[in-house]
Amino acid sequence: MTRFLRTLTFAGRCGLTLCLAGASLAAAAQPLTTGVDATFAPHAMPKLGGGLDGFNIELGQAIAKQLGTTIKIEGTEYAALIPGLNAKKYDFVLAPTTATEERARALLFSEGYLNTDYTFVIGKNGKDIKGLDDLKGRKLAVNKGSAYENWARDNAAKYGFTYDVYASNADAVQAVQAGRADANLAGNTVAAWAAKQNPAVRTSYTIKTGLVWALAFRLDDKAGRDRVSMALKCLKQDGTVSKLAQKWFGFTPAAGSAAATVTPGQGVPDLPGYDAQPVELRCS
């Protein structure tokens, strides 16, 4: 082979390498697309002047910034988010999604970013709930497709209550205020926000669950899960997640809580899809 041909061959190989490297960088910087329940304050809600605001909105924006890209966040009903994810409309679900064993068989989860307990919201003058036995004969209002609907379905017969399902949690709280339900069951952060914003309702009994909220991915998208989860780990390490909790919920996450602790490996420990292989943090 002549020197000229060797030079052309080398240049061609280098060109291919550069093209592949460029393609890899372009893929890494691809904008993210995700969805939230835009009525689930204070996690996601419309803001004055247009657009969305809330804890999860700012969390998604921080994840995108950590990855050096942008994010498009679509507001819709919660029940439409998982079908949209599986149809590849979304890269992941940004809305608060409780990581359970049942869900983890069909979805991949990031590690948890907030602990999630269940709190009852009742009318200002409503009869207090001091324990689950107090639910007998009462009617609950829950958000369609949520973990709270699942809890109500699984426990209605045991504790002797009935429940109605609403398209949004705001509608469920309104049902309590209007007297169509005795209590709304929602996440502790959402319940506290609802009571803070609406003097006609107040929080009552809290069910400790030991569960966490996590970002949900398609079962076949381990690379996407690991990439976004790495960014989430970085935001925990630098205190961003804790600062967002302080801003939106009014409390400082405790040491050892999901918001303040970087989980070894990828995913939620003890659930299907968890990868225990230690990872080295790579933060921007």
What is the distance between the alpha carbons of residues 170 and 31, in angstroms, rounded to a whole number?
30
Q: Where are the alpha helices (DSSP H) in 29-146?
A: 55-67, 81-86, 101-104
Count, in order, helices (H) and strands (E) of the chain: 9, 11
What is the distance between the alpha carbons of residues 231 and 212, in angstroms, rounded to a whole number?
18
Per-residue pLDDT reduced to its tens digit, 110-160: 999 999 999 999 999 999 999 999 999 999 999 998 889 999 999 999 999
Per-residue pLDDT reduced to its tens digit, 55-86: 999 999 999 999 999 999 999 999 999 999 99
Confidence of residue 19 (pLDDT cuts 50, 70, 90): very low
User: Which amino acid type is present at position 224?
Assistant: G
All structural domains of the chain:
32-115+211-249 (3.40.190.10), 117-209 (3.40.190.10)
Tokens 């994810």 correspond to what residue? 85
Residues comprising the chain, all counted: 284
What is the distance between the alpha carbons of residues 49 and 64, in angstroms, rounded to a whole number?
23
What would the two tokens of residue 207 be?
């069910």
What is the distance between the alpha carbons of residues 250 and 234, in angstroms, rounded to a whole number?
22
Q: What are phi and psi of 275, to 5 degrees?
A: -110, 110
Check residue 111 and report its DSSP letter.
-
